[in-house]
A = this chain, B = another copy of it.
Amino acid sequence: MKDLNIGLIGYGFMGRAHSNAYRKVNQFFKLGYRPVMKAACARDGAQITEFADNWGWESVETDWRKLIARPDIDAIDICSPNVTHHDIAIEAAKAGKMVLCEKPLAMNAAEGRAMVDAIEKAGVANMVWFNYRRVPAIALAKQIMDEGRIGRVFHYRAKYLQDWTISAKVPQGGATLWRLDIDVAGSGVTGDLLAHSIDTAIWLNGPVEAVTAMTETFIKEREVQGQPGTLKPVGIDDACAFLVRFRNGSIGTFESTRYARGRKNQNTFEVNGENGSVCFDLEDAHRLQYFDHGDVSHLHGWRDLLVTDSDHPYMGHWWVPGCVIGYEHTFIHAVADFLTGLETGVAVQPDFRCALQTQLICDSVLESARSGQWVKVPEA
């Protein structure tokens, strides 16, 4: 088994999720590679040291350029805020490091394109952490569609609803709320949540031709975190909805918000095909709804698939039928798939180019929301 030395940048929510994945993957998957938790990096030395101690990172850095420069690092894992992705990814690629980058790929498509260029020029292995492709039920939806079970697709509809920013008292910025700060996040729900929905959609249903969109910012200014009394206009989109024409002739609706009272992490999609349909809700991530028009007529019905059997995607690696896994496991699956890609030479998806396509759709959506016009989506 070969070692793969990881250098992690960032120690927030994603830093924890990735660290957990590196620690667990080899106990559950038979792989040719073993990730070694070599170094964790962040500007705040005390914080990153505490983090590294807790998770078992062997060393720390406070300057990401130094981390990239270290010869004992094989792969750079970018978990820091969106605004940092571009520079780190390009520098890492130039240094010949593999790059694993959190989503969304970049602040915008222009940045993303530069990153793809650098990565592909360097020829390094790369992945963007759209972890929801690794939810077993979503992977099963993909399998069902690939098996031809639902046939020609007519409709795709996706929602990603949360409710944690309804209060006007929630501030923006800082270490934990940078997702609300346009200068650090690049966009609001479009990059944070809809990017997930879009990545899943193009994986399942193929390319998007054109979009028309609407965004809204319900709360116009918020206090800056850590600066009591300092109000700053809110630049992000609190909510976004758009209509889509896919290349395969199907049509779609997408919506995301952080103002849907009662919805905590309701990432849903439904695909309606000529012969069947699939329907998913992340709040019940262990289930997939499947309708098969081929069933006997008086026994037609949505099947509630409990996706915990050993012949379901990824599940053979875990416990026994009926025993669920959790949110964090999607990241373990992503690491397993990345390492398998290294071993087999078949690059893992979504890579940077694929993530750029999602970024281009996001940018088109935001452009349409500004112009009120349909926007044709460029190719990555």
- Does chain B have a CB within 8 A of A323? yes
Residues of B within 8 A of A23 (CB): 23-24, 27
Interface readout for A117-161 with B: 1 if CB under 8 Å, 0 if not? 000000000000000000000001001100000100011010101
Is A182 in contact with chain B by the CB < 8 A criterion? Answer: no
Q: How far is the CB of A129 from chain B (nearest CB, A)?
A: 15
Give bound CA distance, A264 to B324, whole Å. 11
> Using Cβ atoms and an 8 Å threshold, which residues of chain B touch A291?
261-262
A92 vs chain B, min Cβ distance (A): 26
Q: Write the chain B residue with the least CB distance to A239.
A: B251
0 or 1 for each of A236-271: is its CB under 8 Å from B? (1 = yes): 000101110100010101010101111111100010
How many Å lie between the Cα of A138 and that of B49 in the bound state? 36
The 0/1 profile, CB within 8 Å of B marked 1, for residues 304-341 of chain A is 11101101100000111111111111000000000000
A154 to B144, CA, bound (A): 32
Cross-chain contact A298 with B272 (CB below 8 angstroms):
no
A65 touches B (CB below 8 Å): no
Whether B321 and A164, one on each chain, are in contact in the complex, defined by CB atoms closer than 8 angstroms, is: yes
- When distances are taken between beta carbons in the complex, the residues of chain B under 8 Å from A239 are 154-155, 251
Tallying the copies of this chain within the complex gives 4
CB-based contact A327/B324 at 8 Å: yes
A319, B323: Cα distance in complex, Å: 19
Q: Which residues of chain A from 83 to 130 have a CB within 8 Å of any chain B CB?
A: none
Q: Of the candidates B55, B162, B253, B304, which one forms a contact with A304 in the assembled complex, judged by CB atoms under 8 Å apart?
A: B304
A300 touches B305 (CB 8 A): yes
Chain B residues within an 8 Å CB radius of A374: 372
The reply to whether A272 and B261 form a contact with Cβ atoms under 8 Å apart is yes
Q: Which of A2-10, A210-218, A223-231, A356-364 participates in binding chain B?
A: A210-218
Contact A304 B301 (CB under 8 A): yes
A274 at the interface (CB under 8 A from B): yes
Residues of B within 8 A of A283 (CB): 306, 322
Tell which of B13, B150, B285, B297 touches A261, judged by Cβ atoms closer than 8 Å.
B150
Q: Would you call A295 an interface residue if the criterion is a C-beta within 8 Å of the partner chain's C-beta atoms?
A: yes
Are A327 and B325 touching (Cβ within 8 A)? yes
Per-residue interface assignment for chain A, residues 274 to 305, with 1 indicating a CB less than 8 Å from any chain B CB and 0 otherwise: 11110000111110001111010111111111
Chain B nearest CB: distance from A372 CB in Å?
A: 5
Query: How distant is the Cα of A255 from the Cα of B27 in the complex, in angstroms?
Result: 36
Give the distance in Å from the alpha carbon of A31 to the alpha carbon of B310 in the complex: 35
A62 in the interface (beta carbon within 8 A) = no
Given contacts A302-B262, A303-B302, contact A253 B253 (CB under 8 A): yes
A344 touches B (CB below 8 Å): no
- In the complex, what residue of chain B is closest to A216 when comparing beta carbons? B251
CB nearest to A150 among chain B residues: B261
A313: nearest residue on chain B (CB-CB)?
Answer: B298
7 A-B pairs with CB atoms under 8 Å apart are: A154-B261, A260-B272, A261-B276, A264-B306, A266-B322, A299-B303, A300-B305
State the 6 A-B residue pairs at the shortest beta-carbon distance, nearest first: A265-B322, A262-B291, A264-B322, A301-B303, A323-B327, A326-B326
If A212-B212, A300-B309 are given as contacts, then 19 extra A-B residue pairs at C-beta distance below 8 Å, sorted by A number, are A13-B319, A23-B24, A27-B55, A154-B218, A154-B239, A260-B277, A261-B291, A262-B272, A262-B300, A264-B306, A264-B309, A264-B321, A284-B284, A286-B324, A292-B299, A299-B303, A318-B328, A323-B326, A325-B327
